[in-house]
C-alpha cells in the first residue's frame, strides 16, 4: 500500500513539474493586490481588472513563462528532481546540454524579459506603457517590477537603499544571474515568492506598485490610508484572510478620513486633547513591525494598542515622536512620556496591577 501511494505521489509530482513556472510573487500579488491598489489609485473597476489580468497572464500564459518538460531536460534524473534532490551540478549539466535548444532559449528569454529583468528592461517596459497610456503593458511592467522584489536576494537590512524608489540596487543581482539560478528557482526557490517570508520587502513592493499606478493615472497619493491593510496582507499566510484585509479598504471615491480627536494622558499628570497627525504609527510586535493607520486607532495603554475593529495589538510604538494638533498649536509628544491615549474626552485608564488580599487565618 505504501509503495502504491509513493508511486502515485511521484507520478503527480512529475506531471506537475512539467508545468512549473518561475512565478515570482503569486496570484495574490499579481492579480488581487494589483487590482485593489489600482482601484485605490483611481482607476475604474474595468481598468483595474485589465491591469491585473495583464499582470497575471505573464505567469498563467505559457508563451511568457514556459518550462520545457522535466523528462526532456533532466532525462533519468527527472525522478530525483521531482523528489527535490537538486544540486548545482545537475542544474549546470542541464544548462550545458540544452543551452542551444530553441524551446529552452525561449523559456530563458521570457524569464529575463518579465521575471528577472535588468534595469534597462524595466525602463523599456515603463517607457512603453506610460506615454501611450497602455493598460496591458502597464500590467506587464508591474509584473516585472514586482518580481524584481520576489527574486531579489536582499533582506530587511538592505531596504534602506530602496526608500527613495531607486531600483538600481534591487536589480543588481538579477541582470547577471546565470541560467542555473533561474532554472533552480523553478524547482526549489518558491519560498521567496511568499509575501509572509519577507514581509518588509513585500511591503516595499506594494508601495512601489502603488506609486507607479498613481504616476500613470495622475492621482493623489493616499497610501497612508491603506498602509495598515497592506501590511496585514503581506504578513498573512491564509489566502482567504489576505483577501479580506483588502476588501476592507475604503471606496476609492471616499474623501480622506477626517482626523479624530484623541486625549493623551502624560506621565506628569497632564491631559492633552488634539488631532493625531502622525500617520501611520509604527508598532514593533513579536511578529515584526506593523504600520497602523491613524483612522484605525481606538486607544493605547501599557503596550496594548486597540483598533477600531476590536483588534488588540501588543507592541511598542517606534515613532520617535507623535505630532498632535491642539488648540494651543502643534505639539511633539515622545511616546516614552505618554501613559495612554484614546479617542474621546478622556484617555483610557492604564491597566492596574492586580493586588491580592492576604487570607486572614482564623484565631482560636
Helices and strands (DSSP H and E) totals, the chain: 15, 11
Query: Cβ distance 189 to 213 under 8 Å?
Result: no
Q: Find, among 274, 294, 268, the residue nearest to 283 by Cα.
A: 294
Q: What is the pLDDT of residues 85-141, one digit of tens each?
A: 555 565 666 666 666 667 667 777 777 788 888 788 888 999 999 999 999 999 999
How many other CB atoms are found less than 10 A from the CB of residue 84? 9
Average pLDDT, the chain: 73
Say what the alpha-carbon torsion angle 59, 61, 63, 67 is, to the nearest 10 degrees.
Answer: 60
Strand partners, 289: 284
H or E stretch including 285? strand 281-285
pLDDT > 80? residue 34: yes
First to last CA, the chain: 75
| Over residues 245-259, mean pLDDT | 62
pLDDT > 60? residue 14: no
pLDDT > 50? residue 358: no
Q: How far from 162 is each of 28, 90, 200, 201, 205, CA to CA, in Å? A: 23, 35, 12, 10, 10
Q: Name the residue ranges covered by the structural domains of the chain.
A: 2-247, 261-343
pTM for the full model? 0.60
Amino acid at each position: 500500500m505504501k509503495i502504491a501511494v509513493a508511486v502515485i505521489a511521484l507520478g503527480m509530482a512529475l506531471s506537475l513539474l512539467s508545468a512549473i513556472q518561475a512565478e515570482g510573487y503569486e496570484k495574490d500579488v499579481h492579480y488581487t493586490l494589483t487590482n485593489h491598489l489600482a482601484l485605490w489609485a483611481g482607476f475604474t473597476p474595468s481598468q483595474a481588472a485589465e491591469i491585473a489580468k495583464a499582470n497575471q497572464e505573464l505567469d498563467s500564459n505559457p508563451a511568457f513563462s514556459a518550462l520545457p518538460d522535466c523528462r526532456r531536460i533532466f532525462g533519468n534524473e527527472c525522478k530525483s528532481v521531482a523528489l527535490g534532490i537538486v544540486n548545482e551540478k545537475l542544474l549546470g549539466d542541464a544548462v550545458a546540454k540544452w543551452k542551444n535548444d530553441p524551446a529552452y532559449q525561449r523559456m530563458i528569454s521570457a524569464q529575463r524579459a518579465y521575471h528577472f529583468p535588468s534595469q534597462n528592461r524595466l525602463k523599456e517596459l515603463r517607457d512603453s506603457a506610460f506615454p501611450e497610456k497602455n493598460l496591458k503593458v502597464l500590467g506587464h511592467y508591474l509584473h516585472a517590477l514586482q518580481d524584481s522584489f520576489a527574486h531579489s536576494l536582499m533582506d530587511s537590512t538592505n531596504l534602506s537603499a530602496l526608500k527613495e524608489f531607486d531600483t538600481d540596487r534591487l536589480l543588481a543581482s538579477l541582470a547577471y544571474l546565470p541560467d542555473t539560478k533561474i532554472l533552480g528557482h523553478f524547482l526549489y526557490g518558491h519560498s521567496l515568492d511568499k509575501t509572509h517570508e519577507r514581509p518588509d520587502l513585500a511591503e516595499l513592493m506594494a508601495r512601489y506598485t502603488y506609486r507607479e499606478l498613481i504616476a500613470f493615472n495622475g492621482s493623489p497619493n493616499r497610501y497612508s490610508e491603506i498602509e495598515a491593510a497592506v501590511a496585514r496582507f503581506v504578513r498573512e499566510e491564509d489566502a482567504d484572510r489576505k483577501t479580506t484585509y483588502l476588501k476592507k479598504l475604503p471606496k476609492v471615491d471616499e474623501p480622506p478620513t477626517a482626523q479624530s480627536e484623541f486625549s493623551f494622558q502624560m506621565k506628569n499628570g497632564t491631559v492633552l486633547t488634539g488631532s493625531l497627525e502622525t500617520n501611520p504609527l509604527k508598532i514593533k510586535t513579536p511578529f515584526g513591525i506593523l504600520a497602523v493607520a491613524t483612522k484605525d486607532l481606538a486607544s493605547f495603554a501599557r503596550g496594548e494598542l486597540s483598533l477600531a475593529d476590536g483588534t488588540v495589538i501588543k507592541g511598542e510604538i517606534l515613532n520617535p515622536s507623535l505630532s498632535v494638533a491642539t488648540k494651543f498649536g502643534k505639539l511633539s509628544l515622545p511616546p516614552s512620556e505618554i501613559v495612554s491615549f484614546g479617542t474621546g474626552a478622556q484617555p483610557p485608564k492604564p491597566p492596574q496591577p492586580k493586588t491580592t488580599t492576604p487570607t486572614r487565618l482564623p484565631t482560636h
